[in-house]
């Protein structure tokens, strides 16, 4: 059975990247590898849409998230943390580990914060040092109002820190124009690489705050990374295969164009959303993002069985819900190396599984809706 990977990370890796990372190993302290690191940093600036420093870590995205707290905030300092999903909650879990005083904005999963709420908190509490939230929340499929938050937070001394692990390279994002101070990302989603690499883009405003931080760090000491990466080298053993693969991924993204890429994922998302609506299903996210579609499982359908059947019997790996959404939603990704006919095939399989599980709909309704959007709007 042919396998299809449409999970919101890890995502499929293009064949060109797989061939590149399979090339013979080179030493991480050679001039050749340093040149690669320098090229990777410049390429990431294009993807982040920033002129700021870029840090590269051999870690999962959570490592970059940890560093974005432990290098920035001192024990007892206040930070706003928006909690509206599994990975939004992770900001709070990390903050509490480092003795931060979190001000939580708790929202129903599948919803987003109103920027005015954060604006009022910042006016009422002048000692807030940072605001932590997402670009896209992987667990629920929402997109956050980052641009609006940047306009508000940039007028204060607080930092805006964004987790773009699932969104970077797929969801529209302009770090500098949107006045984001720290943005973290990972390799295994929109960047089309295997898991194991993480990135952080850091503004000068953020570096000024980092200089005042007294938290203890060793591996994730960002000042050490900044110093070393300025010379295109890693403080420790850099992941050679990830850097090599990243260069190929940057080439692919640049060849398409970042703006064109945003449009393409927007169309894939519209096709997927149109399909599930035609099948009589409802979206979980409001507003929905462009990199993953989260769908509410009808009450008379077994959500766990749906995801399992898609994977084990039909060869399509999608994702179920996590924590409080477990069994209640399923998620189809359209990020990274996922293109129009991956979505067409996935919707076809979804119809077959829904029929098997007893959901009533008109055969081909979802497939037809997706095809119509793609035929009219997708750039082949």
Residue with tokens 């009450």: 299
> How much is the pTM?
0.97
**What's the confidence (pLDDT) of residue 323?**
95
Domains of the chain: 4-8+257-377 (3.90.1150.10), 15-255 (3.40.640.10)
Q: What is the DSSP string of 228-278?
A: HHTTT--SS---HHHHHHHHHHHHHHHHH-HHHHHHHHHHHHHHHHHHHHH
Which residues in 203-240 are b (16+ Cβ under 10 Å) and which e? bebbbebbeebebeeeebbbebbbebbeebbbbeebbb
Which of these, 33, 260, 290, 351, lies nearest to 138 by C-alpha position? 290
Q: How many CB atoms lie within 10 A of CB 19?
A: 11
**What's the confidence (pLDDT) of residue 380?**
84
**What's the confidence (pLDDT) of residue 4?**
97
Which of these, 187, 141, 198, lies nearest to 13 by C-alpha position? 187
**What's the confidence (pLDDT) of residue 337?**
98
Measure the CA angle with vertex 76, ends 75 and 80; round to 5°.
110
Which residues on neighbouring strands pair with residue 293, listed in sequence order? 332
pLDDT in tens, the chain (380 residues): 899 999 999 999 999 999 999 999 999 999 999 999 999 999 999 999 999 999 999 999 999 999 999 999 999 999 999 999 999 999 999 999 999 999 999 999 999 999 999 999 999 999 999 999 999 999 999 999 999 999 999 999 999 999 999 999 999 999 999 999 999 999 999 999 999 999 999 999 999 999 999 999 999 999 999 999 999 999 999 999 999 999 999 999 999 999 999 999 999 999 999 999 999 999 999 999 999 999 999 999 999 999 999 999 999 999 999 999 999 999 999 999 999 999 999 999 999 999 999 999 999 999 999 999 999 999 98
Using CA atoms, how far apart are residues 170 and 292, in angstroms rounded to an integer?
A: 10
Q: Take residue 373 and report the two structure tokens written for it.
A: 């959007």
Residue with tokens 């939230």: 133
Which of these, 186, 203, 177, 296, lies nearest to 239 by C-alpha position? 186
């Amino acid at each position: 059975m042919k396998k299809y990977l449409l999970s919101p990370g890890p995502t499929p890796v293009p064949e060109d990247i797989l061939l590149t990372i399979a090339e013979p190993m080179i030493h991480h302290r050679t001039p050749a590898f340093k040149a690669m690191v320098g090229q990777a940093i410049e390429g990431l600036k294009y993807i982040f849409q920033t002129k700021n420093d870029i840090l590269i870590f051999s870690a999962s995205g959570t490592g970059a998230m940890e560093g974005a707290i432990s290098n920035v905030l001192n024990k007892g300092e206040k930070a706003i943390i928006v909690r509206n999903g599994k990975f939004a909650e992770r900001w709070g879990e990390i903050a509490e580990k480092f003795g931060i005083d979190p001000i939580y904005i708790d929202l129903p999963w599948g919803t987003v914060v109103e920027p005015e709420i954060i604006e009022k908190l910042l006016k009422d509490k002048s000692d807030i040092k940072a605001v932590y939230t997402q670009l896209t929340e992987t667990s629920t499929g929402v997109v956050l109002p980052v641009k609006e938050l940047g306009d508000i937070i940039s007028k204060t001394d607080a930092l805006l820190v964004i987790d773009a692990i699932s969104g970077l390279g797929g969801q529209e994002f302009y770090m500098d124009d949107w006045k984001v101070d720290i943005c973290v990302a990972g390799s295994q989603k929109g960047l089309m690489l295997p898991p194991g690499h993480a990135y952080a883009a850091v503004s000068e405003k953020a570096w000024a705050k980092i200089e005042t931080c007294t938290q203890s760090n060793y591996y994730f000491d960002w000042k050490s990374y900044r110093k070393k990466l300025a010379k295109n080298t890693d403080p420790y053993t850099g992941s050679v295969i990830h850097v090599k693969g990243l260069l190929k991924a940057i080439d692919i993204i640049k060849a398409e164009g970042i703006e064109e890429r945003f449009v393409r994922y927007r169309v894939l998302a519209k096709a997927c959303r149109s399909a599930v609506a035609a099948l009589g299903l409802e979206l979980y996210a409001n507003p929905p993002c462009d990199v993953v579609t989260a769908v509410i499982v009808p009450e008379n359908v077994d959500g766990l069985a749906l995801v399992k059947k898609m994977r084990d019997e039909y060869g399509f790996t999608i994702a179920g819900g996590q924590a409080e959404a477990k069994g209640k939603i399923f998620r189809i990704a359209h990020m990274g190396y996922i293109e129009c006919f991956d979505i067409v095939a996935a919707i076809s399989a979804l119809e077959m599984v829904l029929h098997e599980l007893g959901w009533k709909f008109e055969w081909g309704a979802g497939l037809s809706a997706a095809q119509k959007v793609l035929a009219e709007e997708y750039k082949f």
